[in-house]
Structure 1
Amino acid sequence: MDLLLGIDMGTGSTKGVLVDTAGSVIATETIPHSMDLPRPGWAEVDAEAVWWREVCTIARALMAKMPGGGRLAAMCVSGVGPCLVLCDSDHRPLRPAILYGIDTRATAEIDALTAEFGEQNILDRAGTLLSSQAVGPKLEWVRRNEPGVFARARGWYGSNSYIAAKLTGEYVIDHHTASQCDPMYATRDFDWNREWAERISGHIPSPRLVWPSEVVGTVTAEGADASGVPVGTPVVAGAVDAYSEAFSVGVRAPGDQMLMYGSTMFIVQVIDEYHSDPALWTTAGVAHGSHALAAGTSTAGSLINWLQTVTGGASFDDLMAEARAVPPGSEGLLVLPYLAGERTPVFDPQARGVVAGLTLRHTRGHLFRAAYEGIAFGIRQILERFDDAHSGTRTVAVGGGLRSPIWAQTVSDVTGRSQLVPEQAIGASYGDALLAGIGAGVVPATTDWARIAREIEPDPANQELYEELYAGWRELYPATRDQVHRLANLDRREPQPIV
């Protein structure tokens, strides 16, 4: 019996799944972890101590659960991204991995590279303007601020391509992840922007490009010794975890969308032809030769967790009961959920959270409902931009945030869109297992394991109210931007000693 191993390194945990070629789950494993926030605007992970160690631990645990007569046909690993892992010639990380758009350290480098190459040129050649999501400015930041690290580097990786290198020794990156390494990749052409890539990476060569379902190599003796995966096992490239998860739930056809409810919200839509929008990310897709649009917020579930902490740490069930007792619209309360800056569509690392309309009669429950509504307004703003490329025809909802009895329903009410919830909720690792099977040739490329369990439909009774509130919410950011920027600059000053 052929079996497939999928492992995903997420923001809050690493998860693995062992499945058969019909998509039936044999076993799962999870290891929680956290990111490091050493300075304001920085978000890092120790790639070797966290990602590599946890992948090896999970792989060993799942290999121990292989049924008799089972054969591991292939494995695939995805991870958070786009990230930057700089390694020496022995695949040893030279510094902590710099995480995706929640790490906003490279603002000066974004401005400098934009001035050097030209904003319109970047949009034309790379497909996406530079933001905190882009890898190019992060690499430039290391060159400028840690020249010793940069000089010793012999390869740069994303989270999943770092693991592929540890397992196989191959220096590769998948097209999807590369397409978020702006401005170094030409998304329209599925190739490196060679002149710009060489300018930014200097002496470090660009990795070989592969598609997410391609076999990049086989597990070496060293990789097998560390992970417990048999020598010679094919390793498939994988992608950024959100895209592996979209693939796992059948988001394949043009117009298909995925809304991922997690610490942040991430949205993916498959498109039928190349489309560039300065307020979104245009990327290579998972399927060979495909394109997608993507967007992501800087906070979502993390905002809810923060509110839970600062309002006294009540149980999640109690807080949801309080929020459900508040009518839609939160009785005149609006929230800008920009507590960690914002990614799409405003691309403003200096954005900050705003609560408008607060009165003495508002309660903790009002704040929680208004926070969910603020997140939902942001999703509507993004989906309206997606519609300019290809109207959404099918929306699939995934992620741990679906545990909330309010969140997804509010998104449907605010956006007017139904959401399909899949039966299998394992996540990106399940998509990785499917990619492994496709890459190894043990399942057809058209295989789709997704089954829909339920549908969340918008409540028409709330449509008029949310139309009015959405109009006000859209005015809130431009009306407060200058003031919160001044406050953000104050926050960056060195703290004064307390005397």
Structure 2
Amino acid sequence: MSPEPQPVRDLLIGVDVGTYSSKGVLVTLDGQIVRQHVIPHGISMPRHGHVEQDADGVWWADTAAIIRELLREPGAADRVAGVACSAIGPTLLPLDTQGRPLRPGILYGVDTRAHAQIGALNDEIGADVILAHSGMALTSQAIGPKIRWLREQEPGVWAQAATLISAGSYLTFRLTGQHVMDHHTGAHFMPLYDPRTRAWTDEFAVPVLGSAPLTCLPRLAWSDELAGHVTAQAAAQTGLREGTPVAVGTVDALAEGLSVGVSRPGDLMIMYGSSTFFILVQEAPTPDPRVWSVGGAFAGQVNLAAGMGTTGSLTRWFADEFAREHDTGAAYEELFTQAAALNPGADGLIMLPYFSGERTPINDPHARGVVAGLTLSHRREHLFRAALEAVGYGIRHNIEAFRDLGADVRRVVAVGGGTRGGTWLQIVSDISGEAQEVPAVTVGASFGDAFLAGLAAGVLDRADLDRWVQPGAHVTPDPALAPAYDRLYGLYRDLYTQTRATVHALGAPT
């Protein structure tokens, strides 16, 4: 009697939950996209500095709905070799003993609620000690201060908390029943993570966790490792086959970097999303308080990371508030067309893009947006051009910080919604002096997740990334604009230092 033929597992699924939308892709083993699906969503800002999302109503509901849509063809689930998820991060989500969320997830560095806890931890442990231990300073991106905020400000929630995880980890838990977190995300749970041993440490646990044990944190693993398999419950909710392998996954930015082939030392990804995120692959860490030293996707890999707080969300706010006569797509088309026709410098305007505070390299949660140089001759498009250039100055500031600390930037790859049309990319290249590559296919983090799924399932190896990512556009700076933008960049840097005390006072409680 001949054995039954084995089913063909020739598809992979990647799902990414972002700040304003979730996206999934169904991909073949050679990187060809079979199907995509996107679900938009919002964020909650219950008070200034607090930015949250619902773990079940947004993160898991989106993920389950996207997977069901990707698998709508009969028999598709049986062909899936693996699945992986990424999400906004690092975030903080407390779960009870049954794995149920106790409150909305507290988002990454755009949530600045824990500034008092940052000060307290720096005082109690020592800012220099934390930098030496973690390889980076405490900022709004760090989860340790947010854990302490939760313990101090919401004692009722804290008393019920059994597990503390991040958004991507929650999706993996809902799929597999396993609590596991990737090293890149874990590094941001500072000072509870030791980058030398790549393990949780209790050395500074008491100031953060109080009497809670380190066992409230999930198991650590690399992004391409196997987290577990789809449970019967998850299979019923998503349409996946029970037992499908699930990768550990990671944050959206790291998955986005993989999606465009950023995997070798010297590769720098600039992700143009709601915020702008930077990931530089390194051969050795270069700790510095201005930026973040974290683990990479693969075992032993090191990344230097950075992030601006308000970039794509700034342009979205601008379109929503000042181009209300159009829907968002038409508003963007008109605004970008008008901005592209203006001279560099927006006819004498400079903007600071710190509309939600700022992360790297100034790490100032109290920073605010500023517009300087307004006259009665300026129009809406001048302000929009100034917003695009403000992001360009911020990107230059971060790249300069990388190079100041000795990091080697050899190749810049751009990805994200802000790359569409080319206007913004050209402005950034002209301001920074950096050429940028844009691969032919820039699906986003979900494409990188699908690749991680293939690695975890054992149907791909890392060398396959080269055939998944195809070359595309190449944006080069205009050297004739360098003198003008060098001058304007200097004024941009001065504007922050000269207005810092004023905007801090304006934002202070009255």
Question: What's the TM-score once normalised by structure 1's chain length?
Answer: 0.95
The structural deviation recorded for 1:452 is 1.6
Cα contact 2:147–2:208 (8 A) shared by 1? yes
Q: Go from structure 1 to structure 2 and tell me whether the alpha carbon gap of 1:402 and 1:235 turns closer, same or farther (over 3 Å shift).
A: same
In structure 1, runs of 5+ residues without a counterpart are 494-499
| Native 8 Å contact 1:44 1:97 kept in 2 | yes
The aligned residue for residue 453 of structure 2 is 436
Q: What residue is the counterpart of 1:29 in the other structure?
A: 37
Q: What amino acid does structure 1 have at the position aligned with 2:315?
A: I
Paired position in structure 2 for 1:250? 261
Distance 1:257 1:365 in 2: 31
Coordinate RMSD, CA, aligned: 1.5
- Residues 69 and 260 of structure 1: CA distance in aligned 2, closer, same or farther (over 3 Å): closer
Aligned to 1:50: 58
- 1:410-439 CA-to-partner distances (Å, cap 9, x unmatched) read 110011111111111211111001001011
How much identity, in percent, do the aligned residues show? 45
Q: Equivalent residue for 1:190?
A: 198
Per the alignment, residue 306 of structure 1 pairs with 317
Secondary structure, counterpart of 1:365 in structure 2: helix
Q: CA–CA distance in 1 between the matches of 2:278 and 2:489?
A: 19
Pick which of 28-37 and 66-75 moved more: 66-75
Residue 101 (str. 1) matches residue 109 (str. 2): yes
1:403 partnered with 2:420: yes
* C-alpha distance in 2 between matches for 1:68 and 1:316: 37
Contact 2:87 2:252 (C-alpha < 8 Å) held by counterparts: yes
Q: Structure 1 pair 375/66, CA: closer, same or farther in 2 (3 Å)?
A: farther
SS at match of 2:220: strand
1:280-291 pair list within 5 angstroms: 280-291=291-302
355, 361, 380: which one aligns with 1:364: 380
Q: Report the equivalent of 1:38.
A: 46
Residue 497 of structure 1: aligned partner: none
Query: In the alignment, is the contact (CA less than 8 A) between 2:114 and 2:146 conserved in 1?
Result: yes
One-letter amino acid of the counterpart of residue 187, structure 1: P
Matched, 1:263 2:282: no
Distance 1:120 1:88 in 2: 34
| Counterpart Cα distance in 2 of 1:130 and 1:394 | 28
- 1:340 aligned residue (352, 356, 360): 356
Instruction: Find out whether 1:181 has 2:189 as its counterpart.
Output: yes
Deviation string 1:200-223 (CA, Å, 9 cap, x unpaired) is 234252211110000011112222
Q: Aligned-pair distance for 1:442?
A: 0.3
Quick one: which of 114, 132, 136 aligns to 2:140? Answer: 132
Q: Secondary structure at the match of 2:464?
A: coil
SS in 1 for 2:463: coil
In structure 2, the CA distance between the partners of 1:69 and 1:6, relative to structure 1 (3 Å rule), is: closer
SS of the residue 1:366 aligns to? helix
Deviations 1:327-348 (A, max 9, x none): 1121221111111111111111
- In the other structure, the counterpart of 1:225 is 236
Q: Is the 8 A contact 1:333 1:366 kept in 2?
A: yes
Counterpart of 1:62 (choices 70, 91, 107) is 70
Q: Which among 108, 119, 126 is matched to residue 127 of structure 2?
A: 119
Match of 2:494 among 475, 479, 485: 475
Q: Normalising by structure 2, what TM-score?
A: 0.93
Aligned residues: 491
Letter in structure 1 aligned against 2:97: S
Equivalent-residue separation in structure 1 for 2:224 and 2:390 (angstroms) = 37
Matched-pair contact (CA < 8 Å) for 2:121–2:207:
no
Distance 2:333 2:233 in 1: 47
1:384 aligns with 2:400: yes
C-alpha separation in 2, matches of 1:275 and 1:376: 24
Deviating more after overlay: 308-317 vs 114-123: 308-317
Write the deviation string for residues 169-189 of structure 1: whole angstroms up to 9, x where unpaired. 112111111011122112243
Distance (whole Å) between structure 2 residues aligned to residue 310 and residue 223 of structure 1? 40
Shift, 1:41, TM fit: 0.7
Aligned residue type for 2:484: L
1:17 touches 1:29 (CA, 8 Å); kept in 2? yes
Task: Verify the 8 A CA contact 1:296 1:343 in the aligned structure 2.
Answer: yes
Q: 1:350 aligns with which of 366, 369, 376?
A: 366
Do the aligned residues in 2 keep the contact of 1:172 with 1:207 (CA within 8 Å)?
yes
Cross-structure match for 1:72: 80
Deviation at 1:199, TM superposition (A): 4.7
Q: Is the 8 A contact 1:184 1:196 kept in 2?
A: yes
Work out the CA distance in 2 between the residues paired with 1:248 and 1:308: 28
Does the CA-based 8 Å contact 2:71-2:77 persist in structure 1?
no
Aligned pair partner of 1:293 in 298, 304, 307? 304
Q: State which of 283, 292, 297 in structure 2 corresponds to 1:272.
A: 283
Report how far residue 404 of structure 1 moved: 4.5
Name which of structure 1's ranges 181-190 and 15-24 shifts more when overlaid on structure 2. Answer: 181-190
Aligned residue among 9, 16, 25 for 1:8: 16
How far off its partner does 1:391 sit?
2.4
Q: Tell me how far 1:453 sits from its aligned partner.
A: 1.1
- The answer for the alignment partner of 2:3 in structure 1 is none
Deviates more, 1:121-130 or 1:61-70: 61-70
Q: Is the 8 A contact 1:3 1:70 kept in 2?
A: no
Partners in 2 of 1:69 and 1:375 — Cα distance? 42
Shift of 1:44: 0.6
Corresponding residue of 1:496: none
Give the letter for the 2:388 counterpart. Y
SS in 2 for 1:82: coil
Distance 1:240 1:479 in 2: 35
Secondary structure in 2 aligned to 1:30? strand
Q: CA deviation at 1:226?
A: 2.0
